[in-house]
Amino acid sequence: MFEKMIDDSMSKSPWIFHINAGSCNGCDIELVSVLTPRYDAERLGFRLTGTPRQADIVVVSGPITVQTRDRLVRTLAQVPDPKCVVSLGSCPCSGNVFKGSYAIDGPLEKWTHVDVSVGGCTPKPEAIIAALAKATEILKEKRKEMRK
């Protein structure tokens, strides 16, 4: 009865959980600026949560260092379905300037399916919002798919 409403809500209330996988903190700051008065992602229902159990979108920044890899995989496993993974910045896509380092075990695709990637070092807040909005659409599709 409420299936349609739930499907619609899926794209209107995405809660974000942010994982820093060895990032230099640049992308993290930009992600926070998305929630500030200037860009105000709460307009679209975004909200930062403190636990992966409540997350819909997992935002990963950083080049996946060897130290963070296990933590990243474990935390991603703890997110309930349907979920979306967004890679933030160039590091999780390609390793960026850290590529080839002995301490890096990237890219993010190696460990999980990435739904949306935002490039840039660091990406602009507008780009991040666009990516998150894209992720909400994917979230809705995933929910519909799961229902079938």
CA 74 to chain centre: 15
Q: Does 56 interact with another protein (rule: CB under 8 A)?
A: yes
Contact assessment for residue 62 and residue 31, using Cβ atoms and an 8 Å cutoff: no
Please select the residue that binds another protein; options are 49, 124, 127, 137, rule is CB under 8 A: 49
Please select the residue that binds another protein; options are 2, 100, 102, 110, rule is CB under 8 A: 2
Q: What region, left, alpha or beta, does residue 120 occupy, with left being phi > 0 and alpha being psi -120 to 50 degrees? A: left
User: Which residues neighbour 53 within 8 Å (Cβ) at sequence distance 6 or greater?
Assistant: 78, 79, 80
For the chain, state the CA radius of gyration: 15
Token digits of residue 42: 């709460």
Sign of CA dihedral 32, 14, 17, 109: negative
CB of 100 to another protein, least distance (A): 25
CB of 98 to another protein, least distance (A): 20
Judged by CB under 8 A, the chain residues 100 through 129 that form the site for another protein are none
Q: Does 73 interact with another protein (rule: CB under 8 A)?
A: yes
Q: Does 6 interact with another protein (rule: CB under 8 A)?
A: yes
CB of 23 to another protein, least distance (A): 14
Rounded Cα–Cα distance for residues 72 and 143 (Å)? 23
Please select the residue that binds another protein; options are 77, 100, 102, 110, rule is CB under 8 A: 77
Please select the residue that binds another protein; options are 59, 64, 138, 143, rule is CB under 8 A: 143
- Residues that bind another protein in the complex, under the rule CB under 8 A: 1-3, 5-10, 12-13, 15, 19, 37, 40, 42-45, 47-54, 56, 68, 70-75, 77-78, 80-82, 143, 146-148
